[in-house]
Structure 1
Amino acid sequence: MQQPKIVELNMPKIAKLNIWLTIILVITFTIVYKIMYGQTNFSFLTMLVVAVLYIIFIVLHEAFHLIGFMMFGGAKFKELDYGINLKLGIAYATTVKPLTNSAMKKALLLPFWTTGVFPTILGFYIESFAFVLTGALLIAGAVGDFAMYKELRKFPNNVLVKDDPQLPKLYIVENSFYE
């Protein structure tokens, strides 16, 4: 039996990149919003709304990973798990079912589009600075998903990928490993 290859995130590096990307996106989106609408609505109420939206969208982010596991990888509801790893300070969604690399890559990026890009575009469209800022935070928050995606691009689409249930780690194996 072949040993799986391991893709593991460097969490301190990811956290540092997340902070920098958050700063850059918040500044950039604030400037664009100011140019478009002449003001930014920075207020206590706006920041409160952003905080509430952020919590909601983090939950949705993980839910969209689960939806991706089912939609792209054929995982059943009973094969899914989600929660918060307090030690690592991250929310997670996982499946016990090994997915093809192609399906895993799609499931990794689905939340970026649904909870990052879409709220940002919606915020600019409906003139909601709170949605724009929340979108910026969620786009930056997807940096770990993009790091995993980048590593998975090194492998063929048909290999199986097993998600670690407790750590930000993936196991890449030949299809016969799980058959």
Structure 2
Amino acid sequence: MLPDQEPHVIELDIKKLMMDSVVITSGLSILFIAIQYICLKDFEFSLWRMVSGFILFVLLYIVLIILHEVFHLIGFIVFGGVPYKSLKYGINLELGIAYATTDQLLPNHAMKKALLLPFWTTGIVPTVAGFYFNSTVLLLAGAFLIAGAVGDFAMYKELRKYPKNALIQDDPQLPRLYVYAPPKKSLSQK
């Protein structure tokens, strides 16, 4: 049930986020490959390795995008305590994005955790594994998924402006959140 007040709306500019994501992806990819080359000095070039690496990257990227959204759902359950039946997952072909949502209201502190969980699990973990195993494919997948969390960070940044007990409703079709902030206490209530 929604509160009886008008929500504050947080809406993302998809075109700006996509441009930001391209810039961050490019920068991180260059940075990670440079670090790998400088520190690990085990860089081998062959056409077969390049083609097989590209195929492996595409498959890994698809799996990690799916897992990114699954981790949002896990965050909704673990941090927000929402029931499994309230979860929805899919792809918005018009916007060209995958999405995970719940029809339940979440406290702000839980929504912020659910927003950033995929960054750690599908961005940072593959990057660390890429450096550990000296795997260019994992490093590039990590760079792409870290940059892919730019929208999650933009939402997180906006949610920081609200109290942790504000209630958040995720829009099921658009990258938009509705924030129901608790009423401010008057001086007589303090």
TM-score relative to the length of structure 2:
0.90
Q: In 1, Cα distance between the equivalents of 2:80 and 2:52?
A: 41
| Partner deviation per Cα, 1:76-132 (whole Å, 9 max, x = no partner) | 110000000000000000000100000000000000000000110011101211111
Residues 22/106 of structure 1: CA separation in 2 closer, same or farther (3 Å cut): same
Structure 1 residue runs of 4 or more that deviate by more than 6 Å after TM superposition: none
Q: Does 1:148 align with 2:155?
A: yes
Q: Is the 8 A contact 1:66 1:94 kept in 2?
A: yes
Say which is worse superposed, 19-28 or 124-133, in terms of deviation: 124-133
SS at match of 2:6: coil
Residues 40/138 of structure 1: CA separation in 2 closer, same or farther (3 Å cut): farther
Q: CA deviation at 1:147?
A: 0.3
SS at match of 2:10: strand
Q: 1:7 aligns with which of 1, 7, 10?
A: 10
Q: In 1, Cα distance between the equivalents of 2:86 and 2:67?
A: 18
SS at match of 2:54: helix
Q: Is the 8 A contact 2:163 2:181 kept in 1?
A: no
Q: 1:29 aligns with which of 16, 27, 32?
A: 32
Q: In 2, Cα distance between the equivalents of 1:130 and 1:120?
A: 10
Amino acid at match of 2:140: L
Residues 51/101 of structure 1: CA separation in 2 closer, same or farther (3 Å cut): same
Q: Does 1:171 align with 2:174?
A: no
Amino acid at match of 2:162: F
2:140 aligned partner: 133
In structure 2, runs of 5+ residues without a counterpart are 184-190
Q: CA deviation at 1:39?
A: 3.9
Residues 40/168 of structure 1: CA separation in 2 closer, same or farther (3 Å cut): farther
**Over aligned residue pairs, what C-alpha RMSD do you find?**
1.2
Amino acid at match of 2:102: T
2:121 aligned partner: 114
Q: Is the 8 A contact 1:41 1:129 kept in 2?
A: no
Q: Is the 8 A contact 1:30 1:40 kept in 2?
A: no
Q: CA deviation at 1:148?
A: 0.3
Q: CA deviation at 1:174?
A: 3.6
SS at match of 1:83: strand
Q: Is the 8 A contact 2:57 2:137 kept in 1?
A: yes
Q: Is the 8 A contact 2:162 2:181 kept in 1?
A: no
Q: Is the 8 A contact 2:101 2:170 kept in 1?
A: yes
